[in-house]
Amino acid sequence: MLREALLVARKDLRVEWRSKVTIGHVAPLALLVLVVFAFAFDANAGLLEFGAGGLYWVAVLFGGTLLIQRAFDVETEDGNFDAFRMSAIGAPSLFLGKSLGVFIQVVFLELILGPGVVLLYNVRIDDWVLLLASALGGTLAFSVCGVLCGVMAAGLRVRATLLPLLLVPVLAPVLLAGSRAFETAFGVRAEAGWTWASLMFVIAAVHTAVGVRAFGFLLEEG
């Protein structure tokens, strides 16, 4: 299963590397979201600093949704899902491979957005370990939830508008937990940041288990 998942992830990453969609389109748009918020709250620097964690995850949601949409558009338009159904690659491996591919792309996006938040919002990082742990947990949860929602919308003509409608409610707990954990890591909120970070790992684990069991059914229905 692991070998097959790595093959699927490598295929997705190779497609994205050749197309340069993440670097050329998604990352600049996500950075633009941060810039717009910076101008919108420029008159209140304290509010901007306090909300930096939440604004970061909003930008990740925006860019990540585009990445997920792209990951499934490629498969749907080229008829690759039909080929996967006839291949020896199992549905659990396909789910894990797609999730890994999305995870790596979102990590790359976050590496671009992170310095942007520090520079634009003038935040300081008090707890690097919490920051990295919560970013990892949030990215894992985002990836597996995104792939589950992506396969549900993949076979529909309105998938471009349906995917955000499916994704945002599912990811709402992840965005909330990520925002609270980041605010604690930035030193602007005295809360149990590790509790919020742990919640994101739990959400990722639950949705991974669901995806491994249900991805094949969802793929057939799509």
User: What band does 72 get if pLDDT is binned at 50, 70 and 90?
Assistant: confident
Compute φ and ψ for 47, nearest 5 degrees: -65, -40
**So what's the pLDDT on residue 86?**
63
Name which of 152, 176, 172 is nearest 163 in CA terms: 152
Question: For residues 179 and 57, is the Cβ–Cβ distance under 8 A?
Answer: yes
Residue 114 neighbours by CB under 8 Å, 6+ apart: 56
Q: How deeply is 58 buried, as exposed, middle or buried, from its count of CB atoms within 10 A (0-12, 13-18, 19+)? A: middle
List pLDDT tens digits, range 109-161. 999 999 989 888 888 888 899 999 999 999 999 999 999 888 887 766 656 67
The predicted-structure confidence for 87-107, as pLDDT tens digits, reads as follows 667 778 888 988 999 999 999
Kindly give, in sequence order, each residue whose CB lies less than 8 Å from that of residue 20, ignoring residues fewer than 6 positions away: none
